[in-house]
């Protein structure tokens, strides 16, 4: 892969990719979508059935809950970018294997290079392990900020986990408030709000 792809090249490579076994079972790859100049990226695990059918990230029940989490800090999909560690649906929505995540990570890195976010929120343990700490325990490490190469990163619960266990909602909302504070501290929150009102 070239050092730096354009968006068109990236989407074309993802569309034709068969670098891992997930490429053979997908209906549509799901590269990601949102504001390509956003200071904030959300990274989930992988596409589910509805995402596979539509080619769009987080459009099922978990996606609707993610929308509510984002709305809780006054924002929407208009001002953030949303994608996943793997771009193709794992069969039966299983957790992506390590080698699948590793094969797909260069695409995510290209997205980081193109977007240059200031903050990345990992949704769930798979993204947290891929981007923050391979040994991540989400219940213990959620809400902790780490600074990597000038990007603030934090993991919180995946919205699917909140759908399964309502007790996780309160800590997830606490993490979202911490996210808003971080965006304010970095001086980017007001600009994002302004985009919301365009």
Report the interface residues with ligand SF4, using CB under 6 A. Answer: 14, 17-20, 22-23, 29, 86-88, 100, 103-104
Tell me how far apart the alpha carbons of residues 188 and 72 are, in angstroms, rounded to a whole number: 17
Q: Which is nearer to ligand SF4, 42 or 189 (CB)?
A: 42
Q: Provide the minimum distance between the beta carbon of 69 and ligand SF4 in the complex, in angstroms, as a whole number.
A: 25
24 or 197: CB nearest ligand SF4: 24
At its nearest, how many Å lie between ligand SF4 and the CB of residue 45? 11
* Contact assessment for residue 34 and residue 76, using Cβ atoms and an 8 Å cutoff: no
Q: What angle do CA 177, 158, 17 make, to 5 degrees?
A: 125
How many CB atoms within 10 Å of residue 176? 20
Q: How far is the CB of 131 from ligand SF4 (least distance, A)?
A: 15
Whichever of 39 and 46 has its CB closer to ligand SF4, that residue is 46
Q: What letter would DSSP give residue 162? A: H
Q: How far is CA 70 from CA 7, 14, 96, 150, in A?
A: 25, 27, 25, 23
Taking the complex as a whole, how short is the minimal distance between the CB of residue 17 and ligand SF4, in angstroms?
Answer: 3
H-helix or E-strand spanning residue 176: helix 169-185
Instruction: Report how far residue 134's alpha carbon sits from residue 125's, in angstroms, rounded to the nearest whole number.
Output: 9
- CB proximity list for 118: less than 8 A, separation 6 or greater: 39, 40, 150, 151, 152, 183, 186, 188
Nearer to ligand SF4, 69 or 104 (CB): 104
Residue closer to ligand SF4, measured from CB, 18 or 170: 18
Tally of residues, the chain: 198
| Least distance from ligand SF4 to the Cβ atom of residue 130, Å | 12
């Amino acid at each position: 892969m070239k050092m730096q792809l354009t968006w068109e090249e990236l989407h074309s490579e993802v569309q034709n990719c068969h670098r891992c076994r997930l490429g053979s079972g997908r209906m549509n790859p799901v590269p990601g979508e949102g504001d390509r100049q956003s200071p904030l990226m959300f990274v989930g695990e992988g596409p589910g059935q509805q995402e596979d059918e539509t080619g769009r990230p987080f459009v099922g029940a978990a996606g609707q809950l993610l929308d509510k989490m984002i709305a809780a800090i006054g924002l929407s999909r208009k001002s953030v970018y949303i994608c996943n560690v793997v771009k193709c649906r794992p069969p039966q929505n299983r957790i992506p294997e390590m080698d699948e995540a590793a094969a797909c990570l260069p695409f995510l890195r290209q997205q980081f290079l193109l977007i240059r976010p200031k903050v990345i929120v990992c949704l769930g343990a798979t993204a947290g392990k891929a981007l923050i700490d391979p040994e991540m325990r989400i219940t213990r490490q959620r809400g902790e900020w780490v600074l990597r190469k000038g990007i603030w990163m934090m993991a919180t619960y995946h919205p699917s986990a909140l759908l399964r266990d309502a007790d996780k909602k309160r800590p997830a909302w606490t993490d979202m408030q911490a996210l808003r504070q971080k965006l304010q501290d970095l001086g980017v929150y007001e600009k994002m709000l302004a985009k919301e009102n365009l």
